Amino acid sequence: MTCHNRYPWCVIVYLLLALCCPVSAAEPVIVRTSVEPVNPVWVGQRVSVFVQILTRVELEGTPRFDIPDLDSAIFLKFPGSPLIGSETIDGQVYVTRRYEFLLYPRKEGVLTVPAIGLRLTTLEAEVTKEQTLASGDLEVVVKRPAGALPGQVLITSSRVDVKQTWSLPDGDIQVGAAIKRTIRAEASDILGIALAPVPADDMGGLKLYRSDPSIDESVNRGELVGSRSETLTYICVRPGTYSLPTLVYTWWDPVDDQIKKVQLPGKEITVVLTTALGPANGNPVGSLEAVGLSTRMKVVLAGIGAVLVIVLILAWRRLRGPVRSWWKRQEQTEPAKFRRCLEACRGNQPHAAYSAYTSWNKCVQEKIAKTPGIKQQIHDEDLNAAIVELQYTIVEQRGDWTGDDLARALLAARRARRQQCILHIGQLCPLNH
């Protein structure tokens, strides 16, 4: 019998297969990637890479991103919270979270951006699941504006503000003085870390020190503004006349479609020596002597130091014998012997503990014998049991002995002996001597 003759049964079989074997199941998590603006982009321009996560299951915590390192670009996550929304796909409602990453190309050419790693935790039907996903790879075409120098660090912004302030000494500028020059740059659509550093080099007779930059960003009504502030400090090491250079800050304005520059005027300074410093011989080391210690003062201090060393050596030779004698006497006192006994117990050293206990007990008995009205022995069952256990350990050469019980018994016995002295004679017996 053909399928035609069994048409109703064929239809039923087809329907059952369709119900049991659906063509595709809705994915619980979908990741999308997009870029704005589209290619090409300028060197130093802000490029927004959007990673959108669509989920139809609950997320625990926040996603964790692994951002790739790029040699020819700055790439990092935009500060702030994701944009939350919803989307329906094949009848399934997804919650969307869009995260923004900022890309600032440094060189012209084709820039390949590897995938951003993504780790998240989903919760479905009270079952927690760790998932590792990734965005897609990207290629960004970067071009350099006409008129920009090859290899020049350039930013792209429609609004850049650069200012400088000076801090100079009052009156004459003397050798050893510090001249500070602070430059602050602020630009829209730029992270502070992407702003170009101030170009500056050492000059003959002036030593240049560059401070760590102060970098900041702010978002006001959706507009990103980055700032970078750094201070150049010129140390005057030699007298003379110097021209602190004019600095030029360059950027590309995409709105006006042109290279723009701002000049930060330099200064001409004269560095002098005062009469007290002596004649200006052009030697930077000699010129800076007055800023620190003079040669004569250094010689005097060195002589004083040598005399002190000799005095200490002679004094030690005379005091070495008495000091050693005093130290030996201290080692023979009851507190020192008791301390060595406790150290041996806590170190689980049976032979050392027994030797130290014997020495300490002998010292105690000698001291008590000199104090009338005090019993020579105190019957302490815990101490006696601990000593017997210690003796068996030494005789049988057991290696599992621990000194905690003996240490506790010794401390208790010592406290009891001191209390007995107080009760019988109203004062401490000489255990601490």
Residue pLDDT, tens place only, 209-237 = 888 889 998 887 778 899 999 999 998 88
Q: Cα–Cα distance between 57 and 93 in angstroms, integer?
A: 10
Query: pLDDT at position 380, please?
Result: 67
Question: For 60-83, what is the mean pLDDT?
Answer: 88
Domain boundaries, the chain: 26-143, 160-287, 334-425
Contact partners, residue 173, CB within 8 Å, separation at least 6: 179, 236, 269, 270, 271, 272
The closest alpha carbon to 214, from 251, 256, 185, belongs to: 185
Query: pLDDT at position 86, please?
Result: 92
Confidence band, pLDDT 50/70/90 cuts, at residue 14: very low
Q: What is the percentage of the chain residues whose pLDDT exceeds 90?
A: 22
In tens, the pLDDT along 90-149 reads 888 999 999 999 999 988 899 999 999 989 888 877 778 888 888 888 899 999 888 888
Confidence band, pLDDT 50/70/90 cuts, at residue 431: very low
Mean of the per-residue pLDDT values for the chain?
80
Confidence band, pLDDT 50/70/90 cuts, at residue 24: very low
How crowded is residue 271: how many other Cβ atoms within 10 Å of its Cβ?
A: 23
In tens, the pLDDT along 294-337 reads 567 777 888 898 888 888 888 877 777 787 777 777 777 888 88
Question: Which pTM does this prediction carry?
Answer: 0.54
Q: Cα–Cα distance between 353 and 349 in angstroms, integer?
A: 6
Confidence band, pLDDT 50/70/90 cuts, at residue 66: very high
Question: For 247-258, what is the mean pLDDT?
Answer: 90
Query: pLDDT at position 378, please?
Result: 53
Confidence band, pLDDT 50/70/90 cuts, at residue 428: very low
Query: Where does 160-287 sit in CATH, by number?
Result: 2.60.40
Overall fold of domain 26-143? Immunoglobulin-like (2.60.40)
The closest alpha carbon to 234, from 261, 190, 197, 267, belongs to: 267
Same topology, domains 26-143 and 160-287? Answer is: yes
Is the pLDDT score of 279 beyond 90? Answer: no
